[in-house]
Amino acid sequence: MVMRDYCRYTNGGFTCFDGQSTVTLNYEIPFINFDLSTLNEKSELPLAQHILCDFIWEQLVKRNNSSHKIRVLIDEAWRLVKIPEALEFLDKMFRRARKKNTSTVVISQQFHEFYSEGTKSIIKNADTKLFLPPDATSVKDIQEVFQLTEGEAEFLRTCRRGEGLLKVNNISAKLEIEIPPVEMEFVETNQNNKHERQMEKQKVGVA
């Protein structure tokens, strides 16, 4: 009965988790993207996150006994901190993954959604931090948690899109980020801009 929802022959609602993947993932693949954006946030997403966390740690990180350098990037990391098992995975990655030639990057748009008692050790073990323009109401808390100077905090209050503050241990630098058009095609999230870019491509193709 427990597995009924995960089996195709019973027409379960979670049949996407029925069986092993037919895709072979190994260290020769330069970039692997696990896209969970289409999953239901309340039912499917937590389970998928748990499966992926276990897969990344057991199949990729722990088995890396060679010179392969692995970088694990976790976007919308605030979702993981709400799940105890996923939070344990993040903490384990920051404490132990570097021994397996692996670095971990967590990305979260809202500081207050990510920061908690459980993420303090993650922040402590992160040598490099990149702050992009935050919500003005969170700057004070960011300054306190990350021990920013008054000048750094003031920069975060006034910086614009495309600017940021990079902090590596006790060294910090202001950044101006410019994305070439060829790369913007892959990182653009604004649907209107993506549509306009696609229309421009079609015009060029017609011409």
Q: Are 146 and 155 in contact (CB under 8 A)?
A: no
CA distances for 131 relative to 1, 107, 109, 135, angstroms? 47, 10, 10, 11
Model pLDDT for residues 149-195, shown as the tens digit of each residue:
999 999 999 999 899 999 998 899 999 999 888 888 777 778 888 88
Radius of gyration (Cα) for the chain, nearest Å?
20
User: In this structure, what DSSP letter does residue 106 have?
Assistant: E
CA angle 58, 60, 61 (to 5 degrees): 75
Q: Which residues contact 116 (CB under 8 A, 6 or more apart)?
A: 81
- The pLDDT of residue 202 is above 80: no
Alpha helices in the chain (DSSP H): 44-55, 84-96, 111-114, 120-124, 139-146, 150-158, 181-187, 191-206
Residue in the block written with tokens 């990729």: 60
Average pLDDT, the chain: 85
Q: Is the pLDDT of residue 137 over 80?
A: yes
Residue 127's pLDDT is: 92
Estimate to the nearest angstrom the gap between the alpha carbon of 167 and the chain centroid: 18
Number of H helices, E strands in the chain: 8, 5
- Per domain, the residue ranges of the chain are 40-206
pLDDT digits (tens, 9 = 90+) for 56-91: 898 889 989 888 899 999 998 888 888 888 889 899
pLDDT of residue 93: 92
Residue 9, pLDDT above cutoff 70:
no
Q: Which amino acid is at 158?
A: T
* pLDDT (0 to 100) of residue 76: 87
The tens digit of pLDDT for each residue in 182-195 reads 888 777 778 888 88
- Residue 205, pLDDT score: 60
Range 40-206: architecture per CATH = 3-Layer(aba) Sandwich (3.40)
Judge contact between 15 and 6, C-beta under 8 A.
yes
| Percentage of the residues of the chain whose pLDDT score is greater than 70 | 89
Describe the crossing of helices 84-96 and 44-55 by its angle, rounded to 10 degrees: 20
User: Is residue 61 exposed (0-12), middle (13-18) or buried (19+ Cβ within 10 Å)?
Assistant: buried
pLDDT at 119 over 90: yes
